[in-house]
Structure 1
């Protein structure tokens, strides 16, 4: 068996490449003939290498980096008839997809050991027009945070960089007239943002949808039907405090195999796919059920360390904003 490790040398505060020899050794011990490829600043570097490796007959491709690296690797192979298994070594800021698959996020070698164990999970893959995504798609205000924060700030300050940018952008939220079609319904009206989730983990939190089932062929759709800042803060707080946002009167929630979105006026709706800019609406989102086998942690051991400090910081930010005299957008 052959394995190709595609890694982002700047991930993990640039510590990932120092562990690469040990990572390759663990995979060799599991029976793989291994090699590594360091991504470059060239667009779609990881995607191109993943496609090349798949066409060359590699049995396993390991995406070592953040959620963006995982997304690139999947985009390289999702359109092929024969798709190798994918392993993940998380080394990004939030590592949402690894969190959803219970892959250790506190040690590169622990993650490599999960890959070596080889428990593959058939995972759904989303498609937004011509681009694929593995975890979440979003559009509207605040959804551009992940690609607006400079890489150097993310490397230096990690999750706090997102919090600072979020606090800066919340007062800028405005209503957007949207037309959203989904299985069983149509929403036409004002919204500030929408989310299309494939796992329960986004932004470092694990209660996006308490009802989610991996591999069931369904998206979890959330439409925030308000641009009122205080209501949005209430919704975020409900999400953090246990997933009660689903019942909020300003949240449309549905499970669906497809979503179609376009703006009903001249406002641009930018799309975020797994943390990266994914074009502008109109966009059609399709779910490819159990399209790629991703190696996850199915053992009795599952990392239970939660980002309590991050959640506390987020709650503190919300409470501080709620105490301020904010403009109430409608």
Structure 2
């Protein structure tokens, strides 16, 4: 087995965690090099990603690891996409050390966030596989773009609640916002597909789950060149609590035939008013939205 050089960009909130230190030590003991860069303030993930890109050859980096939650993964991937020409891949593979509250992207790939040593071993030793990313109005995401009710739940969940309840905090927030729900109205088109009407929520998945473990796009494939679209049409007002309760507790499986699903390489959304879209939890507001998949944009060491 050849030695890997991992460059770990570590979210500063996790820098003192003993399980992180133990995982790094175990991978080093297996003969791999792990150089750690810790974030301190906003913009550090992007800055350290650019630094790794500039020094990849000189430092011998063959895998860049996002050590944090889904937002850290997004910042790293989005920075690489923005810095590189469209036809050029990063000079190293990517990997994830899941240290956030929900860790939806890593968990959707089959990783266990409770076993950090195993996750970092994947980064050091797993085969690098071509991996798609998605673009929404030119902004990159790797896991999922969500809009409507679910987007509000993700961005408005109190960080203190997430620290206490973990992924269940999203469920708690959703159950306490029934009275505020308004359906969005829009038209969604792409690749011979067209749907128009009011919707409660939509998900565009490269990965499979979001919002703390909800399987919104359970059939998504990270390297098929397509994104999985799931639309939850707006129900009658009296049915909203039941619909959302089933969604939050059981994901799309709880709704079965009520969901519109399609796989698309590209799609457009035209809404009657600016729509809140979350890209791996990072918000974007727009009424006219263009979405596309970029097949094999990066190589990722993953299960």
TM-score, shorter chain, exceeding 0.5: yes
Partners of 2:76 and 2:24 in 1: how far apart? 18
Call closer, same or farther: CA 1:232–1:269 in 2, change over 3 Å. farther
What is the CA distance between 1:241 and its match in structure 2?
A: 7.2
Give the aligned length.
Answer: 289
What is the CA distance between 1:271 and its match in structure 2?
A: 1.0
Specify which of 295, 299, 302 is matched with residue 296 of structure 1.
302
CA contact (8 A) 1:246 1:253 kept: no
Call closer, same or farther: CA 1:36–1:70 in 2, change over 3 Å. same
What is the CA distance between 1:196 and its match in structure 2?
A: 0.4
Partners of 1:78 and 1:135 in 2: how far apart? 15
Structure 1: 5+ residue stretches without partners = 298-330
Call closer, same or farther: CA 1:252–1:241 in 2, change over 3 Å. closer
Q: Does 1:187 align with 2:190?
A: no
Partners of 2:268 and 2:245 in 1: how far apart? 24
* RMSD across aligned positions (CA): 2.5
Call closer, same or farther: CA 1:86–1:277 in 2, change over 3 Å. same
Q: Does 1:173 align with 2:181?
A: yes
Report what 2:153 is aligned to: 145
Structure 2: 5+ residue stretches without partners = none
CA contact (8 A) 1:173 1:227 kept: no
TM-score (norm 1): 0.79
CA contact (8 A) 1:235 1:245 kept: no
Call closer, same or farther: CA 1:65–1:164 in 2, change over 3 Å. same
Partners of 2:39 and 2:285 in 1: how far apart? 23
What is the CA distance between 1:234 and its match in structure 2?
A: 3.1
Specify which of 279, 286, 296 is matched with residue 285 of structure 2.
279
Report what 1:233 is aligned to: 242
TM-score (norm 2): 0.85
Report what 1:117 is aligned to: 125
CA contact (8 A) 1:271 1:281 kept: no
Q: Does 1:68 align with 2:71?
A: yes
Specify which of 146, 152, 163 is matched with residue 155 of structure 1.
163
Report what 2:55 is aligned to: 56
SS at match of 1:143: helix
Call closer, same or farther: CA 1:206–1:160 in 2, change over 3 Å. closer
Partners of 2:217 and 2:138 in 1: how far apart? 26
More strand by share: 2
Q: Which runs of 4+ in 1 moved over 6 A?
A: none
